[in-house]
Amino acid sequence: MTTFRIDIPQNDLNDLHERLARTRWTPQLPGEGLDRGVPADWLRDVAEYWRTGYDWREREARLNAFPQFVDEIDGLDLHYLHVRSPEPDALPLILTHGWPNSFVEFARTIPLLAQTFHVVVPSVPGFGFSAAPRTTGFGIPDVASRFATLMQRLGYDRYGTQGGDLGAYVAPELARQHPDRVVGVHIDGGFGFPTEDDVPGMTADERAEWDLMQQWMSGGVDHHALLRAAPQTFGAGWHDSPVALLAWHAHKFQEFSMSDQPLLDVIDRDAFLDNVSVYWFTKTAATSSWPMYEGLGDGARFAWPRGQKAVPSGVYGGGSALMRRLAERDNTIAHWPEGNPGSHHFIAMEQPAGHVADIAAFFAKVRDSQRL
């Protein structure tokens, strides 16, 4: 393994600022809010802050406070953060970020987690500073196998897995592949979501809940369909225009909110721009789209994370009685809290303390049960 430090060339930073200054702004279309997409005035304001107010060098230094490394695993360079706890018998914990996010998703939770866990945060292949897949057919099992190799090389024979969004697929896959190593799986949410196959067995109340879910799922931009069809086409714009990339991330981060609050009232503005900046500087807007065209379904439709019963599972935000019933069908649920704070899909960025407390509570249950 090789130590790694983020050091974006000044020419790249200058280029970003110049491109932002030369933006050819689109006019505002009729409509309010997100009716036609990210509002032009909002986008212009945030882009101007990105150019003149946001201090990448200061943010870069913050990220470099975490020990970082690069290790070649199965032909791909894997970037990761590794922060050891002062507690010698701390449980190792590997965190997997989501899409369109990066390792910076956990920047506020790592110092809190490291009080209890040895924390490992890889950049998923194709994201951030990890190398992109070089062939078609790369999927969730390929990520999990590399992460398992990483944990083995770090000397961790037993560990926990955690993730949300894309990470909610990788975390249980690690348990499926290595039930002898993984002590428990904690995800932000995703277990127990019904599919069309579950509808015939639903009660009338559950069917009404299903109908409401369908209304929610049908709203917004279907990025799975978009990126399954033409990631190379759309990636060309995100790769060349920082404002196009900013607008895309802002749109998805706002859609991923479960409240009507404005995005930057929920997610810190600099933290949001940290993530956009990592995508921009690493040129990974297109390479990070592989989960949509390779790994999150059967190639024809979206699929929720698959469960596993080899090790206990827990979630930050459980859900209804219907979801609990379906989750228990495919998982050994040991932790299903109600009322955890938060209104955003990327809960680690919104509620770092609450997120860490819930992760710690789940793994305390798991460790206590395994001592019996």
Average pLDDT (224-248) is 95
Q: From CA 40, how far away is CA 330, in angstroms rounded?
A: 45
* Structural domain includes residue 335: yes
* Structural domain includes residue 77: yes
Average pLDDT (136-142) is 94
pLDDT in tens, 184-205: 999 999 888 888 888 899 898 8
* Structural domain includes residue 52: yes
* Res. 251: pLDDT tops 90: yes
Average pLDDT (249-278) is 95
* Structural domain includes residue 29: no
Closest C-alpha to 284, from 254, 249, 325 = 249
Residue 99 tokens, joined: 């899409």
Query: CA gyration radius for the chain?
Result: 20
Residue 32 tokens, joined: 């309010």
* Structural domain includes residue 189: yes
pLDDT in tens, 172-186: 999 999 999 999 999
Identify the pLDDT of residue 372. Answer: 42
* Res. 218: pLDDT tops 70: no
* Structural domain includes residue 28: no
Check whether the bond before 88 is cis (ω within 30° of 0).
no
Q: Mean pLDDT, the chain, as a whole number?
A: 93
Residue 61 tokens, joined: 């230094």
pLDDT in tens, 82-105: 999 999 899 999 999 999 999 999
Contact between 79 and 4 (Cβ < 8 Å): yes
Average pLDDT (53-62) is 98
Q: Residue 69 belongs to a domain with what CATH number?
A: 3.40.50.1820
The confidence band for 296, taking pLDDT boundaries of 50, 70 and 90, is confident
The range of the structural domain enclosing residue 182 comes to 2-22+36-371
Query: What separation, in Å, do the N-terminal and C-terminal C-alpha atoms of the chain show?
Result: 37
Give Cα separations from 184 to 149, 173, 312 (angstroms). Answer: 18, 12, 5
Q: In percent, how much of the chain has pLDDT > 70?
A: 97
**Chain position carrying tokens 């697929």:** 169
pTM over 0.85: yes
* Structural domain includes residue 27: no
* Res. 297: pLDDT tops 70: no
Identify the pLDDT of residue 33. Answer: 82
The Cβ-side half-sphere exposure at 297, using a 13 Å CA radius, reads 13
Domain count, the chain: 1
Partner residues linked to 73 by β-bridges: 76
The confidence band for 298, taking pLDDT boundaries of 50, 70 and 90, is low
Average pLDDT (317-346) is 91
Identify the pLDDT of residue 217. Answer: 67
* Structural domain includes residue 178: yes
* Res. 168: pLDDT tops 90: yes
